[in-house]
Chain A
Amino acid sequence: MITLQCPLPLRDYPNIVMGHGGGGKLSRDLVEHLFAPTFDNALLAPLNDQAVFAMENARLAFTTDSFVVKPIFFPGGTIGDLAINGTVNDLAMSGARPLYLSAGFILEEGFSLDDLTRVVYSMGAAAKRAGVQIVTGDTKVVEAGHGDKIYINTAGIGIVPDDVNISAGNARAGDAIILSGAIGLHGIAILSQREGLRFDSEILSDCAPLHDLVATMLAITRDIHVLRDPTRGGIASALNEIADAGKIGIEIDERAIRVPRDVASACEMLGLDPFYVANEGKLIAFVPNEIAPRVIDAMRAHALGGDAAIIGRAVAAHPGMVVARTSIGATRIVDMMIGEQLPRIC
């Protein structure tokens, strides 16, 4: 018998709240308690950002992502750049070479054609830069007030080399954890443009396609265990998901994580923790400790990995938990967020 009840209670929320889209525990709840058990299959089960499967003689990576960012134009990019790079990066995090993308547009009645053109041109340029083709698409229009200018969905496929096997569940105690560069740029660039919060800053989104950086790393070693791009929920959420999936503990050193001064200042002012702020052009890699220095050398030679550094290690202790060494040399937990990060009163 089919019942219209959640398989497991969803943290007592009878309605969707914004936090369900925040990339934290609430988002995770929706996936683990509703989507995954309902759609139940072996390819979905690892809950990676993409599915990898064999077809004929090739291994394919397949992913989809929707883009509802506001504002649609922001310092360092547009919703169109994100729609291409976000999906390219989801593919790249499996080690895949991205090939073809689809683009679905949901447009609000009254949206300016000039702005649509600007978005579409930015998608064209981003696709060219990433070396992918947009080969199919769809357009829908909703009544004014039933959308917010433009929403974009992209799906993508890519080819995964035979000897590459990257998944969050592959993290092993002893792995070195590499972060490709400074954190917090995208999230703060977006926040700086939000209505009611506008502040002057030079912070640009780090939005960029990462597949070429990944290819550079794979040229050094095929033995990369995990790759993640820490988007919504920041590096804290990505590390927690990996600790969970790999049943390992994680130890990081806060002082090894580069937070640009502007980002740090904005976070101080708003009461935000940069570890939870979104990135769109950074990756976290888990690699065997002994090859980490060579991987880092290769990353640093790449335009998108100039600040790559080891930020910590996977350990056998405290599985599922991320513990950070703080700036004063003590320790603290780096937890998963519940919903969205909330600015504090004082």
Chain B
Amino acid sequence: MQSLDTYRDEARVRAVCDEIARVATREWTLMEVCGGQTHSIMRYGIDQLLPKQIELVHGPGCPVCVTPLEVIDRALAIAARPDVIFTSFGDMLRVPGSTTDLFQIKAKGGDVRIVYSPLDALQVARANPGKQVVFFAVGFETTAPANGMAVFQARREGLKNFSILVSHALVPPAIIALLSDPENRVKGFLAAGHVCAVMGYREYEPLAEKYRVPIVVTGFEPLDIANGILACVRQLEECRAQVENAYPRAVLREGNVAAQKLIAEVYQVCDRKWRGIGEIPASGWRLRDNLREFDAELRFDVGDLRVNESPLCISGLVLQGRKKPNECVAFGKQCTPAKPLGATMVSTEGACAAYYRYARHTFALVG
């Protein structure tokens, strides 16, 4: 933990922020892609230390937030079944579906369990051969290898009572979608360090070149984020548009090759709906055809569920960096973490929840 203290040290972070102020000669809008980075920025108040000319907008990289409502409803339908033990990471439990959430399913007798790894879910399946055990496999490229490993092992062991409900999203197609939008005002990206730790950053190089936009691989501690911003601003000021690694202690250009190999064996690319944004082509993973017996959506026949979102919620615009959470009329009024209208208010990594939890003292509510 000694090293973490270093990355949270006021003097070091201030020194980098001072350098950003010195380098930036005009206004720049940057997007941190990942919800974990948004959380860090608000949790530590990094935005308060930045010069006025740097604006951070918050990207679509919160796995809880971009999971479509119908996928949540599918999870709820499966979890309510008496023959099912439904396992999930903790922060999916409070995400509201159209009528209920996993906490309430649990309160009404559903067997819903928080696990810390999909391999724990596999252990639950081994220990309960008379039950169907389902793991809610939500996440970006980061969580895909472990989720894939669980399926891989289940097949090897011939486990018939294990399946996963897959909702994997991919970062590069989302960045392309944002950059292709005529209203885009993002001039540089902080790419998610943990996604790049798995996938490397070669796939971002054609994007930087085609769209003339700097993409800086960035970590999650305050000093990491400040360094990522500095590298991005330097590129913009020097009219460069490159992929740069500001998180070398965790990320290699090639990424984790063994994990990528496993991913290729388990998943194939598919079109995918992003909550609040809509369908993005080739932006998700589903299980390969030869592994679809482990796909909970097919096993429990819940693929046809379709639902509508709250008309007040602007989480789609927030996820695209076009609105700030506090620009929403419902923010802090009809919509709070206790009673969220959209997923960005639920997850601790959601931009709306981060604004509400950490920073509502710094601005006035609108409307």
The residues of A with any CB-CB pair to B shorter than 8 Å are 11-19, 25, 196-197, 261, 264-265, 268, 270-271, 318, 321, 323, 326-333, 335, 338-339, 342-346
Contact = CB atoms under 8 A, between A and B. Distances in A.
B266 interface: no
B283 to A, nearest CB: 18
17 contacts: A11-B339, A17-B107, A18-B107, A196-B124, A326-B44, A328-B8, A330-B48, A330-B49, A332-B43, A332-B359, A333-B360, A333-B361, A335-B337, A342-B114, A343-B91, A344-B90, A344-B347
A327 B9 contact: yes
Contacts of A321: 361
A327 B8 contact: yes
- Which 5 residue pairs spanning A and B have beta carbons closest together? A330-B45, A342-B90, A343-B90, A330-B48, A332-B358
A148 to B, nearest CB: 15
B322 interface: no
Given A329-B10, A332-B42, A333-B357, A345 B139 contact: yes
Nearest to B47: A330
A345 B48 CA distance: 27
B105 to A, nearest CB: 10
B91 A12 contact: no
Given A326-B43, A326-B45, A196 B10 contact: no
A18 B103 contact: yes
B349 interface: yes
Contacts of B348: 271, 342, 344
B17 to A, nearest CB: 9
Interface stretch (B25-33, B115-123, B153-161, B272-280): B115-123
B249 interface: no
Interface residues of B, number: 56
Q: Identify whether the interface residues of A are mostly helix, strand, loop, or mixed.
A: loop
Nearest to A317: B361
Interface string B334-367: 0001110000000111000000111111100000
A231 to B, nearest CB: 21
B116 A197 contact: yes
B142 interface: yes
Given A261-B1, A323-B361, A345-B139, A18 B106 contact: yes
B332 to A, nearest CB: 12
Interface in B89-118: 89-94, 103-104, 106-108, 113-116
A327 B222 contact: yes
B36 interface: yes
B108 A342 contact: no
B11 to A, nearest CB: 9
A206 to B, nearest CB: 19
